[in-house]
Structure 1
Amino acid sequence: MAINPSMDAPPAVKAPLGLPLLTYIQQDPLGAASHFQRRLGDVARLNILFRRIYYFFSPEAARQILVDHQADFTREARLLKIFESFQGKNVLTTEGADWERQRRILAPGFSPKRISGYINLMRAAIHDSVREELPAVRGGSAIVDVDALTTCITMDVILRTLFSQPTTRTEANRVSTAIRALTRQSMREVFWAFIPPEWMPYPGRAEKRKHLRVINTLIATQVDARKSGVTSSGSSQDVLEMLLAARDDQPTSASATLTSKEIHDNCVLLFSAGFDTASSALTWWIGLMATHPEVVARLRDEIGAASAGASPIESVARLPYLNATIKEAMRLYPPSTALFTRVALRDVVIGDTPVKKGTLVVIPIWHLHRDPRSFDEPGAFRPERFMPGAPAIPRSAYLAFGAGPHFCLGQHFATIEMALIAAHIVQNFDLSMEDGAVLPEPVVDIALKPKTPLRVRFTRR
């Protein structure tokens, strides 16, 4: 078998050590997985560098791995170690009892009730960012790089909800640049033959340390100020205050509260995971709105008819079509498409496939979301799929936020954040693309991003 990113022919699966396959997966993870599925079916068995790697393309298998047999699998230790090198030991990079304890402590802080307390901070950040980045005068118009715009808005939301403080454009850009550089470096390290110790010179080490200083200094400054009693107005409602006050409701011999290091490390996680996922989803959502004006018109009718007396979180929840458009955008363009993997802790059978202990299993979300067996016309943008009363979607066919015990802890936070941003945009702007323009090809760049700039005209209403 031969594999070539630009052809329907792959380098041989039986090539020495499988190195051509590894290169192909690194360069084009979506294309490689598509080729494996076409040639090998719902289970693609590969051997790369003496390791068994299985791709499972059915929602039934995904559910068995993530839910039914979740105790038989673990997240890959090597991958966790790579991300730990810049995020520290947080609820993403730990496993076992440490992960369970941190998750218990953090979960109440991301409940719908607690997130309702963050909404005013979110709204202030959205208002300020949009005012600075987009035309402010009615009829004013500008063509905007959408990814750059959503990066600014979502980073402002994270900084405001974490620390209650407005941020400068320079600081927001510096933080988002640092986070993306660190995550890209981690993605490169995933494909290295071994993980170098911190003291050893390696490609990207100096830049990595520089960007880490940016993040660590910002967080340490905010935490020290809060602990010393120097707080901002409204800080009792922000995420940092939640991290400082959170307690374990099932205390063991370990600390019942987060340590100073755990607070710091989970702040890094919120930066790295909290803004880029929402930014990616909103980038594609805006592009889809610019190419579907009939959807925008329906959204405006729904927003206008929303109950004026409802609380902020209730008003968002009462916009089913708005939330359906976001879910459908995340189906077509799931922010997390690569490295959704598990390792078998023991021999197990998934469907009819025996999986030996130590096998790395890959769940290709992009392909699950576009499988015609689960979604009619899978390439079409049809928000109605997610409306109340629509036909049920097969379990685990839609995994925008994962499934099982490791589902995204910030799912509700991200959902509310994206809905608030989306509603603000359609209420205040008309969106259009240049004549003949189409949505760019997607590429895996940490999250799923446009391969070429997605440029949309924003006209103030």
Structure 2
Amino acid sequence: MTIDSSNNTVPIRTAPLGLPLLSFIQKDPLGAASHFQRHFGDVARLNILFRRIYYFFSPDAVRQILVDQHSDFTRETRLLKIFESFQGKNVLTTEGVDWERQRRILTPGFSPKRVVGYLGLMRDAIDASVGELLPAEPGRSALVDVDFLTTRITMDVILRTLFSHATTQAEASSVSTAIRALTRQSMREVYWAFIPPNWLPYPGRTAKLKHIKTISDLIANHIKARTSKPRDIGTQNDVLDMLLAARDDAPTTGSASLTSQEIHDNCILLFAAGFDTASSALTWWIGLMATHPDVVEKLRKEIEGANLRNSPMEGIAHLPYLNATIKEAMRLYSPSTALFTRVALRDVMIGDTAVSKGTLVAVPIWSLHHDERSFAEPDTFRPNRFMPDASTIPRSAYMPFGAGPHFCLGQHFASMEMALIAAHLAQNFDFALEEGKVLPEPFVDLALKPKSTMRVRFTRRDARKKTNANTIL
């Protein structure tokens, strides 16, 4: 078997069908993509299990695939079926007219203006979970598993904004455990030779069904409680109210509103995609803050010097340097780095490369974000890259939320959520990485996670040292 770039063909020692390459990609998708780029330039062509797979590493090619010529590609049916097996038919797992209809109905509910209405619920969740897990008295400190902390906070945010529901630590742990177990199972199934039918016993099936029930029962109970009291609908100003009220003003196919099953399935999507990616991004942001105290100090000065009287929470969420630190953290450690693929619907040209119908095209976000052609010193944490006066970043070189028609629907929600959490933590705590430790290596667990436990010491700051701007958080 061979892998080739546009200029050469390089023999790779493999067994038949390219199975060692498949194993390489499965065990280390980030390392595999980096290896392909180093050896084969901006295009790497693979053949695995009789399937053509092309990796594209230039932003221009990625933009062609995801934006300019998006109609020439579709999302991979096999991958959608794997996620549908536990999420149902939502705006992530559907394609074609069904996807278009759901997307039209849901998009207004996640607009920046609508997301602002969720900020009070987000703040309540942040206050409660941070108050429960981190020291309350000035000068007190605690060494904390950062992934555990961010999981708890973001799960509380999801439950509050979805259902106006304040979770318990036990409930948050149960749901987050279920979600992560299901995403790991999905990652396993991606590399299987075929997708087993629901009735066939397979590795992980029993646990998968158990975790699906945990999440499904929670969602169904909240939907039932809300819909059984019609007078309560529209009074909570949460995401469930939005889902129940969402309408397509110009329907072309199907119902103008979401069916009860679609509401349920899109709630599962919000759990699956909404909490774990934000948790991952914040975990790495905290680790970076713990190793860059100068950045934390600059960030605090920005917040203290801001005029936030008219709309304090919305103002916090739009502070330039605060958001620059989050964007740079998501560049270095983008939560969504795997399974970003498309399938060619017809023979097309991407730049100078001919892509034949049926070819699986991989967009390696990690490689794009670490390419020195787009980002000087790509492995260095430099938030100033994302300040308003910084040099323009090439289009599609930075895409933590994707690009094109399928870009992340919850982008504004996630951005505001992360900004509020980050600001709250930066203003109220000093961070220090566990003594003698460095930031862990990342690994792909659908979302990008630390390979080993990341512990950070949080020390509560003295409230008397804060200005009035801090009191909003």
Report TM bin, short chain: over 0.9
1:27 and 2:34 are equivalent in the alignment: no
Once the two structures are superposed, residues 268-313 of structure 1 have per-residue CA deviations (whole angstroms, 9 ceiling, x without a partner) of: 0000000001000000000000000000001111111121313145
Q: Provide the rounded CA distance (Å) in 2 between the counterparts of 1:88 and 1:23.
A: 29
User: 2:109 — aligned with what?
Assistant: 109
Cα deviation for residue 38 of structure 1 reads 1.4
1:66 and 2:66 are equivalent in the alignment: yes
User: 2:167 — aligned with what?
Assistant: 167
Cα deviation for residue 434 of structure 1 reads 3.3
Q: Provide the rounded CA distance (Å) in 2 between the counterparts of 1:395 and 1:313.
A: 30
Letter in 2 for 1:296: V
Map of 1:74-89 to 2, 5 A cutoff? 74-89=74-89
Cα deviation for residue 353 of structure 1 reads 0.4
Q: Provide the rounded CA distance (Å) in 1 between the counterparts of 2:246 and 2:370.
A: 39
Cα deviation for residue 232 of structure 1 reads 7.3
Q: Provide the rounded CA distance (Å) in 2 between the counterparts of 1:405 and 1:438.
A: 39
Cα deviation for residue 12 of structure 1 reads 2.9
Does the 8 Å CA contact 1:13/1:46 hold for their aligned counterparts?
no
Letter in 2 for 1:334: S
1:354 aligns to what SS in structure 2?
A: strand
User: 1:17 — aligned with what?
Assistant: 17
Q: Aligned in 2, Cα 1:274/1:231: closer, same or farther, shift over 3 Å? A: farther
Once the two structures are superposed, residues 161-202 of structure 1 have per-residue CA deviations (whole angstroms, 9 ceiling, x without a partner) of: 000011111111101100111111111111111111101001
Aligned length: 455
Q: Provide the rounded CA distance (Å) in 1 between the counterparts of 2:175 and 2:230.
A: 22
Q: Provide the rounded CA distance (Å) in 1 between the counterparts of 2:60 and 2:310.
A: 39
User: 1:367 — aligned with what?
Assistant: 367
Q: Provide the rounded CA distance (Å) in 2 between the counterparts of 1:235 and 1:212.
A: 29
1:430 and 2:430 are equivalent in the alignment: yes
Identity of aligned residues (%): 74
1:198 aligns to what SS in structure 2?
A: coil
User: 1:206 — aligned with what?
Assistant: 206
Letter in 2 for 1:350: I
Does the 8 Å CA contact 2:234/2:241 hold for their aligned counterparts?
no
User: 1:144 — aligned with what?
Assistant: 144
Cα deviation for residue 127 of structure 1 reads 0.4
Q: Provide the rounded CA distance (Å) in 1 between the counterparts of 2:449 and 2:232.
A: 35
Once the two structures are superposed, residues 60-103 of structure 1 have per-residue CA deviations (whole angstroms, 9 ceiling, x without a partner) of: 11101000110000000000000000000000000111001000
Q: Provide the rounded CA distance (Å) in 2 between the counterparts of 1:13 and 1:224.
A: 57
1:322 and 2:322 are equivalent in the alignment: yes
Once the two structures are superposed, residues 194-222 of structure 1 have per-residue CA deviations (whole angstroms, 9 ceiling, x without a partner) of: 11110100110100000011011001100
Q: Aligned in 2, Cα 1:377/1:35: closer, same or farther, shift over 3 Å? A: same
User: 2:381 — aligned with what?
Assistant: 381
Gaps of 5+ in 1: 4-9
TM-score with structure 1 length normalisation? 0.96
Does the 8 Å CA contact 2:290/2:431 hold for their aligned counterparts?
yes
Q: Provide the rounded CA distance (Å) in 1 between the counterparts of 2:287 and 2:234.
A: 35
Higher mean C-alpha displacement, 54-63 vs 315-324: 315-324
Map of 1:181-330 to 2, 5 A cutoff? 181-229=181-229, 235-330=235-330
Gaps of 5+ in 2: 4-9, 462-473
Cα deviation for residue 11 of structure 1 reads 9.6
User: 1:132 — aligned with what?
Assistant: 132
Does the 8 Å CA contact 2:337/2:448 hold for their aligned counterparts?
yes
Cα deviation for residue 233 of structure 1 reads 11
Q: Aligned in 2, Cα 1:11/1:132: closer, same or farther, shift over 3 Å? A: farther
User: 1:7 — aligned with what?
Assistant: none
1:448 aligns to what SS in structure 2?
A: strand
Once the two structures are superposed, residues 253-276 of structure 1 have per-residue CA deviations (whole angstroms, 9 ceiling, x without a partner) of: 410000000000000000000000
1:397 and 2:397 are equivalent in the alignment: yes
Cα deviation for residue 225 of structure 1 reads 0.6
User: 2:466 — aligned with what?
Assistant: none
Q: Provide the rounded CA distance (Å) in 1 between the counterparts of 2:290 and 2:233.
A: 38
Cα deviation for residue 37 of structure 1 reads 1.1
Higher mean C-alpha displacement, 89-98 vs 31-40: 31-40
Letter in 2 for 1:316: I
Q: Aligned in 2, Cα 1:382/1:460: closer, same or farther, shift over 3 Å? A: same
Q: Aligned in 2, Cα 1:139/1:11: closer, same or farther, shift over 3 Å? A: farther
Once the two structures are superposed, residues 301-348 of structure 1 have per-residue CA deviations (whole angstroms, 9 ceiling, x without a partner) of: 111112131314531244100000000000000001111000000000
Letter in 2 for 1:97: V
Q: Provide the rounded CA distance (Å) in 1 between the counterparts of 2:56 and 2:2.
A: 21
Cα deviation for residue 235 of structure 1 reads 4.9
1:236 aligns to what SS in structure 2?
A: coil
Q: Provide the rounded CA distance (Å) in 2 between the counterparts of 1:192 and 1:313.
A: 46
Once the two structures are superposed, residues 16-56 of structure 1 have per-residue CA deviations (whole angstroms, 9 ceiling, x without a partner) of: 00001001111110111111111111101000000000000
Q: Aligned in 2, Cα 1:460/1:110: closer, same or farther, shift over 3 Å? A: same
2:236 aligns to what SS in structure 1?
A: helix
Does the 8 Å CA contact 1:331/1:400 hold for their aligned counterparts?
yes
Q: Provide the rounded CA distance (Å) in 1 between the counterparts of 2:234 and 2:68.
A: 43
User: 2:465 — aligned with what?
Assistant: none
Letter in 1 for 2:139: G
Does the 8 Å CA contact 1:105/1:258 hold for their aligned counterparts?
yes
Higher mean C-alpha displacement, 263-272 vs 445-454: 445-454
Q: Provide the rounded CA distance (Å) in 2 between the counterparts of 1:396 and 1:276.
A: 23
Letter in 1 for 2:331: R
Does the 8 Å CA contact 1:431/1:459 hold for their aligned counterparts?
yes
Q: Provide the rounded CA distance (Å) in 2 between the counterparts of 1:431 and 1:233.
A: 42
Q: Aligned in 2, Cα 1:263/1:428: closer, same or farther, shift over 3 Å? A: same
Q: Provide the rounded CA distance (Å) in 2 between the counterparts of 1:125 and 1:14.
A: 52
TM-score with structure 2 length normalisation? 0.94
User: 1:456 — aligned with what?
Assistant: 456
2:17 aligns to what SS in structure 1?
A: helix
Higher mean C-alpha displacement, 213-222 vs 247-256: 247-256
Letter in 2 for 1:352: D
1:343 aligns to what SS in structure 2?
A: strand
Q: Provide the rounded CA distance (Å) in 2 between the counterparts of 1:296 and 1:425.
A: 10
Letter in 1 for 2:52: R
Q: Provide the rounded CA distance (Å) in 2 between the counterparts of 1:293 and 1:229.
A: 50
Does the 8 Å CA contact 1:12/1:20 hold for their aligned counterparts?
no
User: 2:41 — aligned with what?
Assistant: 41
1:442 and 2:442 are equivalent in the alignment: yes
